[in-house]
Amino acid sequence: MTALSTVLDGERVPPDLPERSAAAAAETVADDATLAVSGFGSVGYPKATPEALAAAADDRSLSLTVVSGGSTGPPIDTTLVETGAVARRFPYQATPQARRAANERTMGFADRGIAGLSDEVRFGRLVDPDVAVVEAVGVGNGWLAPSTSIGQTPAYVRAADELIVEVNAAQPRALARFHDVIVRDPSPNREPLAVTAPGERVGEPVVRFDPAKLRAVVRTDRRDDPYEFRDPTATDRTIADHLLEFLETEIRRDPVVGAAPTLQFGVGSLGNALMGALSGSPLADAGLRYYGEVIQDGLLDLLDEGGLSAASATSLALSEAGQDRLFAEPERYADRVVLRPSDVSNAPALIDRLGVVAVNSAVGVDIYGHVNSTHVRGSRLLNGVGGSVDFNRNAHCTVVTLPSTAGDGDLSTVVPMATHVDHTEHDTDVIVTEHGVADLRGTTPTERAERVIAVADPAFRADLRRYLDRARKATGHVPHDLERAFDWQR
């Protein structure tokens, strides 16, 4: 039998594997262990074992280091974190409890990009994992089939000394049809990735592992907590209109975009709204392709309507309705949706090769095009930089979308000088707000400033221009009035 038919037609858990309860599996984890867990886009994460660890926290002196592929779900970043059992966390978090622990510094947290994370763990540069705890839709002797995300699972399984696999009966085994697992050789003998199109498969549907590592198989029967997307606001829709107008122009103007328009969108409600806006637009007839990190509901709409020829990601970050739709008919999407490890989905070489137009949101931007994606007022962490650093740096064209105000309109998201910089001016091509498009390509610093101010909220434009006028009185390539740059934001 092929690997795929084994997953689809065989037993989810063969009788010769070591099945244990979640509590028994948790007992095998040392109090100070480093856990490498599956999960990306808040889906595909282990559920029962982290909850069993949390339940045992009062009787144990747990001081765990947890490294995930991206954002996970409540069992790890809410339940386990609230017990105080997580001493250190990498590389991303997306719950209020984990955010609070990071900001209060009761949990050590380090923000990381995604593309190089597999190598950082696999070769011991970030952590040396003791145990990999991963979710699967099936497991066998030396293989497992991931569930709704792949993320860093192949690298973590290789790097960890031991392995716990949660086999989730609530996730359809047909998810294996989406997987294209590629494990790269170490440098300096690493060969180029063979992927030449988003829909192309060059790997296999399972993650291989040394059978001697397997310490426990835990059965679960629970879906991921669904993504909750807010309804698009009037501001979202206006931003989408400006973005679509820009993209339509790029298809006509830029031969790379015009030949095979390939988009990436950041995860979240604004990204999902922008994806949804493509439905029924002229772009849906342009042979659109998607190459990014997450498949969200808006992409399912495009796939259903025939407006998307292929979509490649590492995670299915769907609402409850989106999960219902995909799980009911996975075969309907499997020939056009591919899930890959995140060191492939975010690989700089492939982002460049496919001519991706990256569209990501931000907390704020400054008038020179520096982008803050992660910290409020330079200090308070929100989630993390995630894969935006990979796509913004390597895309054929980098677009940053954001509303022009925050805090019910009381705060401008366009500021004189960013208090935290995740993406520099050199990686920012275009900024889109509800007030228009600022194309920064080929501009000098002062020209960039004029264009960015033009898409700021009208209530703040005069103050921003006054700041720029004062700064221009001094010499220097990038005019700044450092004494007033941050006073302005108060």
Sequential pLDDT tens for the chain (490 residues): 578 999 999 999 999 999 999 999 999 999 999 999 999 999 999 999 999 999 999 999 999 999 999 999 999 999 999 999 999 999 999 899 999 999 999 999 999 999 999 999 999 999 999 999 999 999 999 999 999 999 999 999 999 999 999 999 999 999 999 999 999 999 999 999 999 999 999 999 999 999 999 999 999 999 999 888 788 889 999 999 999 999 999 999 999 999 999 999 987 777 878 788 888 788 888 889 999 999 999 899 899 989 899 999 999 999 999 999 999 999 999 999 999 999 999 999 999 999 999 999 999 999 999 999 999 999 999 999 999 999 999 999 999 999 999 988 999 999 999 999 999 999 999 999 999 999 999 999 999 999 999 999 999 999 999 999 999 998 899 999 998 988 865 5
Q: Is residue 44 part of a domain?
A: yes
Q: Is 134 exposed, middle or buried, given 0-12, 13-18 or 19+ CB atoms closer than 10 A?
A: buried
188 plus 300 within the same structural domain: no
Number of structural domains found in the chain: 2
Q: Is residue 306 part of a domain?
A: yes
Alpha carbon distances (Å) from 92 to 346, 359, 419, 429: 15, 20, 20, 25
pLDDT value at residue 154: 97
317 plus 384 within the same structural domain: yes
Nearest Cα to Cα of residue 213 among 437, 17, 58, 2: 17
Task: State yes or no: is 250 an active-site residue.
Answer: no
> Helix axis angle, 234-253 relative to 269-277, nearest 10°?
50
Pick from 173, 189, 220: which residue ends a domain? 220
12 plus 85 within the same structural domain: yes
- Token reading at 253: 């103007």
147 plus 250 within the same structural domain: no
pLDDT value at residue 143: 97
211 plus 238 within the same structural domain: no
Euclidean distance between CA atoms 357 and 340, whole angstroms: 19
328 plus 421 within the same structural domain: yes
The DSSP string of 118-187 is HHHHHTTSS---SEEEEEEEEEETTEEEE-SB-TTHHHHHHH-SEEEEEEETTS-GGGGGGB-B--PPPT
Classified as helix, coil or strand, 255 is helix
362 plus 434 within the same structural domain: yes
Query: Of 166, 250, 293, 425, which residue is the catalytic one?
Result: 293
Pick from 172, 191, 220: which residue ends a domain? 220
415 plus 462 within the same structural domain: yes
Q: Is residue 246 part of a domain?
A: yes
pTM metric for this prediction: 0.95
51 plus 74 within the same structural domain: yes
Pick from 186, 220, 254: which residue ends a domain? 220
Q: Is residue 227 part of a domain?
A: no
162 plus 244 within the same structural domain: no
Q: Is residue 225 part of a domain?
A: no
CA angle 161/38/315 to nearest 5° reads: 145
**Which phi and psi (to 5°) does residue 453 adopt?**
-60, -35
The residue behind tokens 């011991």 is 124
Range of the domain at 323: 234-489
CB atoms within 10 A of CB 162: 18
Q: Is residue 228 part of a domain?
A: no
173 plus 256 within the same structural domain: no
Q: Is residue 206 part of a domain?
A: yes
Q: Is residue 229 part of a domain?
A: no
Whether the CB-CB separation of 154 and 145 falls below 8 Å is answered with no
pLDDT value at residue 230: 80
The residue type found at 278 is: L
Q: What is the CATH number of the domain that holds 269?
A: 3.40.1080.20
CB atoms within 10 A of CB 454: 16
pLDDT value at residue 267: 79
30 plus 150 within the same structural domain: yes
Dihedral sign (CA 293, 299, 303, 307): negative
Whether the CB-CB separation of 224 and 317 falls below 8 Å is answered with no
